[in-house]
Each structure stands twice: as C-alpha cells, then as structure tokens.
C-alpha cells in the first residue's frame, strides 16, 4: 500500500529494471559490481573467496526478487499457511542448491568462466550451516526445499545459533570437539531484520489483577531479551516461489536490566546484557487468524503451545474455552524417536522459575485434561498417572511429549514401523483414547540436493535416459529407469558415473589421510551419527573378522577375496563415552589393517572426520554399498539410506524404520537384508543369558580384549557392553546373519552386470523416499493447506 507516495512509487519502479537479467554480460557486470561495492575489493585483485562472496551476492539479488514476489503473492491470496517450527535446520551449503533451483546455474558458470573463475571451485569456498545434529535437522532442510518447490505457503521458524554443531577433529584417533563459529566469514544468505524484533520475557511473578471488571493474570517478568529476525529465502525448483526460513537471534533488550545501569555499575551491566545473547549462541549438541497450521518438529518447540495459549489468554483476552479451541485446531506434532528416554522432560522447578506463566498454563491444561480423562476411563490411577502431563516423583517433570499429543490434532510418526511402535508402545494409552489422531508420514529427502546438486553426472544420465528433466520435480518418473535395467548401453554409462564419483571420493580420502585406495575395490560406507543402536561396532567387528579371515587364507583363496574400502564417518555427542570409544576403535583397527603389507588392497578402513552435509554430498555418490545396521525397532526412520538409494548405492540393512518400506519398493533381491526383525528383538532380549552367540563373534571380541589393536584397557568397557546379558543391541545375536549378508554382497559385486542392474533398480525405486511425497501427504492429511503458486 503506497498510500500518499503512489506517484513516487511509480517513478521508483520506472527507475529500476523490471528484473535482473541473466545473460552472461549482465551476470559478469553484477559480479564485478559486488566485488567492488559489497566485498569492497578492487575488481583487478580479488581471490577465490572474495569471488565467491561477490557471486553469492549476485545470486542473492535474484533470490530476493522472487522472494518478494512470493511474499506479495501470498499476502494477496491470503491462503492458509503452515508454520514449521523446528529447533534444528541442517542446511549445509546453499549456493549450488540455490542457483540450481533458480535455474541459472549454467548461466552463472559461463559468466564466471569468462571472468577466469570456476563455479565449482568458488562453491567450495562456502562453509556449512550446521544448525542441527543429524537426521532430524537435515530432514527439516529437505522439507523446506519441498515446501517451496510444491508452492506451499509455508514459513520455517528456528534459531540462529552463533555456534553450529561442533567440528569434529581427530587427534591420535580420539574425537575432539572444536567450536563452529560459522558466522565468522559472513553469511550472504541471510537478511537481518533489525526492525522485526519481539521482547521475550523470563522469570518474574504472575499476579491476579482485574481488567474491566474481569480477573486476569499479569506476568511481571524479571528479565527481557529481544528476539531479532534473520530471514533466509528458500527457493523452490521449477517455480518462482521462494519461501522464508526465519531464524531468531537473542539480543539484549533495551529494557534488559536497566536498573543496574542506573545503580552505576556500568561494566557489570554490560556483561549482564551480553548474557542475553547466549540464549541463541549455541546449538545443544545432542542427537536428540485460524488460517494457520503450526507444525511441531519433535517436542523441542513444544513450549510454543503454552506460549500461543498465553498470548491468546493474557494479551488477546480470549476465554480459556476459545483459546483452547484454537490450540486444538492449529497444532500438529511429529515425533522422531522410538525410545521412551528420548521423550523430553522439563523439571517443574526450572520451568516455574524461568517461565512461571507458562507453567501455570500447562498445569491448567493438565487439570482440564485429567478431569476429562476421568470421565472417559474412570479412576484407573495407573493410566491417569502415565497420561498426565506432570510426572510426579523425586523431581517433578513436565512431559513435553504428553503435552504435545494432548494439544495436537494429529500425531505423526516418521515411518510405518515407527507409527506402529507409537501406537502399541510409546503412546499406547493415547492411541487407545484417540486413535483418529495417529498418522504417519514416512520421511523423504530432496532429490534436488541429493542427486542434482551432489551427483551432477548421475543427474544428466537420468535425464538423458528418461528423455526429460521433469523427474526433478516429479520423482515418480524415476521408475522409468526400470525399463532399461538390463540395457547394456545404460550399464556402461551407469558404471562410468559411479567411477567418476569414486575417483572424487578417493582423491578426498588421499588428501585427508594420505591413504591411496583402489578404485576396483567395493566402496562400503557407513556414515551417520555414532550411536550404540546404529551399531557401527557391528561393522568394525565385521571388518576385524574379514581381516582375520584374509590373514588365515592361502594364496589361492586370497585371489577370491573381493577388495573393500570400508569407510566410516560420524560424530559422537561430546558426553557420549561409548560412542567416542567406538571412534577410537575404528582408528586403531584401521591403523593395523592399513599398514599390514600382507593385506594390501584387499582391505582398507578409513574414518572420515567431521561428517557433515558437504562431506555427505561427496561420499554418498561414491559409495557402492552402504550400511544401515540399527537393531530393529530403534531407528524411527533413517534418512541417510534414502540418499544412498537415490544414488544407486546398494543397501545392506536391517528391517528397521523406513528400510522396510524400501524393500517393498525395490524388492528383497535388490538389497542385502539381515538380522532379527523388530518383534524378534523383543523375544531375543527375553532369552537373556541363554542366548547363543557364534564363535566368530567371541573370537573378534577376544582379539580386542587381548590387545591385538592396543588400548585393551580402554576398550574393556566397550567389550563388556556387547558380551553376555549386556548386549542390549544384540550384536552377537545378529552377527552370523550380518556376515552372511556381507558374503552375499561380495558375491553380487563380482558379477558386474548383476550389481549394475541392482544399482539401477535401487535408484529407479527410490521415488517414494522423496520429501516431495512426504510434504504432499502432510499438506493433504495433516495441515490441510493448498499450493499457492506465484505467477512467473
Ligand atoms: C531422528 C531419528 O533418529 C531418525 O531415525 C529419523 O530419520 C530422523 C528424522 O525423522 O529423526 N530422531 C532424532 S532425535 N534424530 C534423528 O535423526
């Protein structure tokens, strides 16, 4: 609304080019302009990093045009929006993704080469935005890409941590954590909104007061901080739509503790003000109108329920009844965990001190809920106690999961098996009460990032054989590759693509560790957070077994061994001792094997440090085989497997999480399944001490215990954890089946034609695991939102 300035506005529009142009000369001019005026370097002297900065700003200008148009269009159409709340977004690098989604990658690459720069080299200058821990956080990033691509009117909300997830540095085989001050070199993708700020209150007391004759609650806070918005435009692919990811940073508020300034202690007062910024300074490093829909990505943002309720009651002065009615219509909740311990709790004392009004509201919600519940189920105290939001005990806790389930209209799991576990175990009491609330949306990943950006050769190959690029927006078309699964020409080209990616990965390994690996070997990868349930230890024990077998073979048998390069990568939570020991074990075993001349290229083991999105983009396309070894029933979904699958990498996996659905898509014959099924796991655990483990298993554990790899004292507790009744994750029970699956993989690998066919069929069957499908399902079945496409 230009109001009185209408005349001026029209003149201003006349002064601007309608849109920035994308021909090579305009792009070069733009880049040079940014070199000179944004980066403030002379256009005759700037290095790769400065060129990257100028490039990024030229891209950002084009991004902003579309973003503005989208926001204006949404405002005009005013559709129902979804607000996607997540405390973690693992975006990685943005440049390549953005230019590809904007459809101007090649134009920029041409322009740069005319300036004497290589696009890929500049893209590597960008640091990763690691504002999250692992799968859950990368899932949010994939889902933002799909929301934009599918034209949904969505806004993502999260926190702008100053320190992202720690950098993993390996010293003598041990993990060390270093801070990731990712903003040190600036972030061209964010737009600081100094005028979009909200006061956030903490501490203080709540009193009853009368307003217009009505009793109401007034919260007088003890401290205030200011939340400042940073907007990050997220472009869709093949659309003009560009949505917003708004990340909040905490800043000291003007009203923050002004008292101490007045009392004269200036320095202390300033230091105290800085405390405010610490709220958004660090990512917690653990793996763990009515026309809106608010999506809770796990319980982490679930305080939003109490906050919305507070705003409706105390600021909008709605009745409890009206406010509660709104809450129940807008919130939906997705849980990403299978273990009861994974469900977040907040001590009542802590919450009552920090957010006294919110605690009151939660108590009120709980009171009403329990009263209703009593009417429905009677005085079944055990069940009432389990379902209450408040957990009684030595430390009284608020169960954030119960709060989320009670207040949400829909509770989603992230795979079919996960949903079944939620209904029968984790949330059984709630399922029995409200079966209609429970749904699931099997996770997905975006093919834009995981094929188009990270595997350009495969992308080109797929488009060539399908005769279209439409699969980049419509993943179901990938199935068309099935028609050529035995085509000799495609086989040739498919193998070439894999080779190119293996070369890239091999070069990285050599640059990083000095280790030369053979391209003929099977590249066998397990990259993900280090966790006992993910069983990296099973992989390492399998490698020791393989090493031991080779050592005991004669010359003839050795000729039959399929050479392997085993690659493991992932971070351990800083306080997770056992996970850190697994990393050290991997290193000592690697040291031993890689330096054993007797073994040569038959077996190599590499640990890739600091696994993050960018490293994944290089590792995944280069993998022949990938391992997903979680004890069945423990991985809610798993999303790494989907990226490998899309890249035509074969899977060696347990029947857990989304893998079960992968079997349905590509068939059991095209992957290497092993291990106990989820229901068998329960039975096996019951067997306890009578459970038999194979001799091979005992032998490899003994090798570690006997100091074959050194550090036997250090590894004792690790070995103790997997022997006898303490083998909770059933490494011993699954070991034989694991070795058999590995043998089957070896056998398939030597038959090149068969392997290539399996690889093609893996990629062809990966369509169901696109986040486009996941988001479509959320939009239709949970959020009830429609696409709102901005005209080109
Ligand atoms: C996780 C699950 O562990 C993982 O199985 C799932 O794929 C992911 C996304 O839904 O969420 N939960 C948490 S917490 N971190 C995860 O990666």
Distance 342 CA to ligand 1 centre (A): 11
Mean pLDDT (whole number) for 310-338:
96
Task: Give residue for tokens 């059933």.
Answer: 730
Angle at 303 between CA 788 and CA 418, to 5 degrees: 70
Task: Let me know if 495 is a catalytic residue.
Answer: no
* Crossing angle of the two packed helices 105-114 and 24-37, in degrees rounded to 10: 70
CB 481 within 8 A of CB 763: yes
* Crossing angle of the two packed helices 536-551 and 695-705, in degrees rounded to 10: 90
Half-sphere exposure of 685 (CA within 13 A, CB side): 13
Fold assignment, 456-770: Rossmann fold (3.40.50)
Kindly state if the Cβ of 630 falls inside 6 Å of ligand 1.
Answer: no
Half-sphere exposure of 515 (CA within 13 A, CB side): 25
Task: Let me know if 34 is a catalytic residue.
Answer: no
Task: Let me know if 529 is a catalytic residue.
Answer: yes
Kindly state if the Cβ of 139 falls inside 6 Å of ligand 1.
Answer: yes
CB 373 within 8 A of CB 384: yes
Mean pLDDT (whole number) for 604-633:
98
CB 161 within 8 A of CB 280: yes
Atom 14 in ligand 1: residue holding the nearest Cα: 288
Task: Let me know if 386 is a catalytic residue.
Answer: no
With 0-12 / 13-18 / 19 or more C-beta atoms within 10 angstroms meaning exposed / middle / buried, residue 79 is middle
Kindly state if the Cβ of 86 falls inside 6 Å of ligand 1.
Answer: no
Which residue of the set 73, 358, 491, 529 is catalytic?
529
- DSSP, collapsed to helix, strand or coil, labels residue 503 as helix
- DSSP, collapsed to helix, strand or coil, labels residue 686 as helix
What confidence tens digit (pLDDT) does each residue in 412-450 have? 999 999 999 999 999 999 999 999 999 999 999 999 999
What confidence tens digit (pLDDT) does each residue in 342-380 have? 899 999 999 999 999 999 999 999 999 999 999 999 999
Angle at 71 between CA 66 and CA 76, to 5 degrees: 125
Task: Let me know if 584 is a catalytic residue.
Answer: no
Atom 7 in ligand 1: residue holding the nearest Cα: 638
CA dihedral 656, 658, 664, 667 (to 10 degrees): -70
pLDDT: which is higher, 265 or 624: 624
Kindly state if the Cβ of 337 falls inside 6 Å of ligand 1.
Answer: yes
Beta-carbon contacts of residue 99 (< 8 Å; ≥ 6 apart) = 59, 105, 108
Rounded distance between C-alpha atoms, residue 431 and residue 402, angstroms: 12
Angle at 598 between CA 597 and CA 602, to 5 degrees: 95
Which residue of the set 337, 639, 659, 782 is catalytic?
639
Atom 12 in ligand 1: residue holding the nearest Cα: 336
- Nearest atom of ligand 1 to the alpha carbon of 334: 10
Rounded distance between C-alpha atoms, residue 418 and residue 412, angstroms: 9
What confidence tens digit (pLDDT) does each residue in 706-761 have? 999 999 999 999 999 999 888 999 999 999 999 999 999 999 999 999 999 999 99
Mean pLDDT (whole number) for 115-123:
97
CB 681 within 8 A of CB 732: no
- DSSP, collapsed to helix, strand or coil, labels residue 297 as strand
Task: Give residue for tokens 């099977």.
Answer: 522
What confidence tens digit (pLDDT) does each residue in 673-709 have? 999 999 999 999 988 878 889 999 999 999 999 999 9
Distance 309 CA to ligand 1 centre (A): 28
Beta strands at 438-440 and 410-413: parallel, antiparallel or unpaired: parallel
Any idea how long the chain is?
Answer: 792
- DSSP, collapsed to helix, strand or coil, labels residue 617 as helix
pLDDT: which is higher, 86 or 15: 86
In the predicted model, what is the mean pLDDT of the chain? 95
- DSSP, collapsed to helix, strand or coil, labels residue 171 as strand
* Distance in angstroms between the alpha carbons of the first and the last residue of the chain: 22
Task: Let me know if 639 is a catalytic residue.
Answer: yes
Distances (CA, A) of 506 to 97, 502, 503, 619, 687: 24, 6, 5, 9, 44
Q: Put residue 366 in one of left, alpha, beta given phi > 0 → left and psi -120 to 50 → alpha.
A: alpha
| % residues pLDDT > 90 (the chain) | 89
Pocket test residue of 133, 336, 535 for ligand 1, highest count of atoms within 8 A of CB: 336
Q: Which of 2, 44, 168, 251 is nearest to 568 (CA)?
A: 168
- Provide the pLDDT confidence category of residue 290 given band limits of 50, 70 and 90: low
CB 357 within 8 A of CB 321: no
Kindly state if the Cβ of 288 falls inside 6 Å of ligand 1.
Answer: yes
Kindly state if the Cβ of 654 falls inside 6 Å of ligand 1.
Answer: no
Question: pLDDT value at position 287?
Answer: 56
Token duo for residue 127: 């640091």
Identify the weakest region by mean pLDDT among 273-277, 329-333, 413-417. 273-277
Pocket test residue of 136, 535, 643 for ligand 1, highest count of atoms within 8 A of CB: 136
Rounded distance between C-alpha atoms, residue 140 and residue 748, angstroms: 35
In angstroms and rounded to an integer, the radius of gyration of the C-alpha atoms of the chain is 28
Pocket test residue of 88, 89, 135, 633 for ligand 1, highest count of atoms within 8 A of CB: 135
Half-sphere exposure of 552 (CA within 13 A, CB side): 6
Distance 778 CA to ligand 1 centre (A): 17
Beta strands at 191-202 and 223-235: parallel, antiparallel or unpaired: antiparallel
Residue 97's CB is within 10 A of a number of other CB atoms, namely: 25
Q: Which of 734, 699, 520 is nearest to 627 (CA)?
A: 734
- Provide the pLDDT confidence category of residue 257 given band limits of 50, 70 and 90: low
Distance 287 CA to ligand 1 centre (A): 8
Kindly state if the Cβ of 423 falls inside 6 Å of ligand 1.
Answer: no
- Nearest atom of ligand 1 to the alpha carbon of 630: 5
What confidence tens digit (pLDDT) does each residue in 558-603 have? 999 999 999 999 999 999 999 999 999 999 999 999 999 999 999 9
Write b or e for each residue in 485-495: b if 16 or more Cβ atoms lie within 10 A of its Cβ, otherwise e.
beeeebbebbe
Mean pLDDT (whole number) for 499-523:
97
Question: pLDDT value at position 181?
Answer: 93
Distance 576 CA to ligand 1 centre (A): 17
Rounded distance between C-alpha atoms, residue 130 and residue 613, angstroms: 8
Distance 41 CA to ligand 1 centre (A): 44
ipTM value for the complex: 0.99
Kindly state if the Cβ of 528 falls inside 6 Å of ligand 1.
Answer: no
Half-sphere exposure of 194 (CA within 13 A, CB side): 0
With 0-12 / 13-18 / 19 or more C-beta atoms within 10 angstroms meaning exposed / middle / buried, residue 375 is exposed
Kindly state if the Cβ of 414 falls inside 6 Å of ligand 1.
Answer: yes
Beta-carbon contacts of residue 480 (< 8 Å; ≥ 6 apart) = 465, 466, 471, 764
Residue 740's CB is within 10 A of a number of other CB atoms, namely: 12
With 0-12 / 13-18 / 19 or more C-beta atoms within 10 angstroms meaning exposed / middle / buried, residue 130 is buried
Max CA-CA distance within the chain? 95
Q: What residue segments make up the domains of the chain, in order of their start?
A: 456-770
- Nearest atom of ligand 1 to the alpha carbon of 418: 5
Question: pLDDT value at position 92?
Answer: 98
Residue 256 has pLDDT above 60, yes or no: no
In sequence order, the β-bridge partners of residue 559 are none
In sequence order, the β-bridge partners of residue 565 are 523, 604
Task: Give residue for tokens 């692992």.
Answer: 134
Rounded distance between C-alpha atoms, residue 89 and residue 239, angstroms: 23
């Amino acid at each position: 609304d230009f109001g009185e300035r209408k005349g001026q506005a029209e003149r201003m529009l006349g002064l601007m080019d309608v849109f920035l142009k994308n021909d090579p000369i305009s792009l070069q001019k733009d880049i040079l302009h940014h070199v000179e005026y944004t980066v403030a370097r002379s256009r005759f002297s700037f290095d790769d990093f400065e060129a990257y900065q100028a490039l990024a700003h030229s891209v950002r200008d084009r991004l902003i045009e579309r973003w503005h148009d989208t926001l204006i269009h949404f405002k005009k159409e005013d559709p129902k929006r979804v607000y996607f709340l997540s405390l973690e977004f693992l975006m990685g690098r943005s440049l390549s993704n953005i230019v590809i989604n904007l459809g101007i990658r090649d134009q920029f690459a041409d322009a740069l080469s005319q300036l004497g720069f290589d696009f890929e080299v500049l893209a590597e200058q960008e640091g990763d935005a690691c504002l999250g821990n692992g799968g859950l956080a990368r899932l949010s990033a994939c889902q933002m890409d799909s929301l934009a691509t599918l034209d949904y009117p969505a806004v993502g909300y999260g926190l702008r941590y100053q320190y992202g997830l720690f950098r993993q540095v390996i010293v003598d085989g041990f993990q060390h954590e270093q801070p990731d001050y990712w903003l040190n070199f600036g972030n061209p993708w964010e737009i600081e909104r100094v005028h979009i700020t909200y006061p956030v209150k903490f501490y203080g007391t709540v009193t009853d007061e009368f307003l217009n004759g009505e009793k109401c609650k007034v919260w007088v806070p003890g401290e205030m901080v200011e939340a400042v918005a940073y907007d990050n435009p997220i472009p869709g692919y093949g659309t003009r739509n560009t949505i917003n990811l708004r990340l909040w940073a905490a800043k000291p508020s003007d009203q923050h503790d002004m008292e101490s300034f007045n009392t004269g202690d200036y320095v202390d007062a300033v230091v105290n003000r800085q405390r405010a910024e610490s709220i958004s300074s660090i990512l917690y490093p653990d793996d763990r109108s009515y026309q809106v829909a608010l999506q809770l990505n796990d319980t982490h943002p679930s305080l939003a329920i109490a906050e919305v309720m507070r705003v409706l009651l105390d600021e909008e002065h709605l009745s409890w009844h009206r406010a509660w009615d709104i809450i129940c219509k807008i919130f939906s909740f997705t849980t990403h965990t299978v273990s009861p311990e994974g469900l977040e709790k907040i001590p009542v004392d802590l919450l009552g001190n920090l957010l006294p009004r919110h605690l009151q509201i939660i108590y009120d919600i709980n009171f009403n809920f329990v009263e209703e519940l009593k009417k429905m189920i009677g005085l079944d105290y055990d069940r009432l106690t389990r379902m209450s939001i408040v957990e009684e005990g030595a430390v009284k806790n608020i169960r954030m999961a119960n709060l989320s389930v009670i207040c949400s209209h829909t509770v989603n799991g992230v795979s079919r098996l996960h949903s079944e576990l939620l209904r029968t175990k984790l949330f059984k009491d709630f399922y029995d009460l409200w079966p209609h609330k429970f749904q699931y949306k099997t996770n997905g990943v975006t093919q834009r990032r995981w094929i188009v950006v990270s595997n350009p050769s495969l992308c080109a190959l797929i488009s060539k054989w399908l005769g279209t690029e439409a699969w980049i927006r419509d993943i179901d078309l990938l199935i068309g590759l099935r028609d050529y699964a035995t085509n000799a020409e495609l086989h040739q080209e498919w193998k070439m693509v894999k080779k190119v990616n293996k070369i890239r990965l091999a070069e990285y390994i050599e640059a990083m560790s000095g280790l030369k690996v053979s391209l003929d070997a099977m590249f066998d990868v397990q990259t993900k957070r280090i966790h006992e349930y993910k069983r990296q230890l099973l992989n390492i024990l399998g490698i020791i077994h393989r090493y031991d077998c080779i050592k005991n073979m004669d010359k003839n048998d050795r000729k039959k061994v399929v050479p392997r390069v085993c690659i493991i990568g992932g971070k351990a939570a800083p306080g997770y001792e056992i996970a850190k020991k697994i990393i050290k074990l991997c290193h000592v075993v690697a040291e031993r094997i890689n330096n054993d001349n007797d073994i040569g290229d038959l077996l190599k083991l590499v640990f890739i440090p600091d696994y993050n999105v960018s490293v994944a983009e290089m590792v995944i396309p280069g993998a022949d085989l990938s391992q997903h070894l979680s004890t069945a029933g423990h991985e809610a979904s798993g999303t790494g497997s989907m990226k490998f699958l899309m890249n035509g990498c074969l899977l060696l996996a347990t029947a857990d999480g989304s893998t079960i659905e992968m079997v349905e898509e590509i068939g059991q014959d095209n992957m290497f399944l092993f291990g106990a099924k989820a229901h068998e796991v329960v039975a096996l655990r019951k067997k306890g001490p009578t459970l038999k483990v194979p001799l091979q298993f005992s032998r490899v554990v003994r090798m570690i215990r006997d100091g074959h790899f050194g550090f036997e004292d250090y590894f004792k507790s690790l070995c103790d954890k997997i022997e006898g009744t303490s083998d909770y994750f059933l490494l011993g029970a699954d070991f034989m089946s694991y070795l058999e699956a590995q043998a089957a993989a070896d056998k398939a690998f030597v038959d090149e034609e068969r392997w290539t066919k399996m690889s093609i069929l893996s990629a062809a069957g990966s369509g169901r695991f696109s986040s486009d499908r996941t988001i479509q399902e959320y939009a239709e079945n949970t959020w009830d939102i429609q696409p709102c496409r901005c005209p080109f």
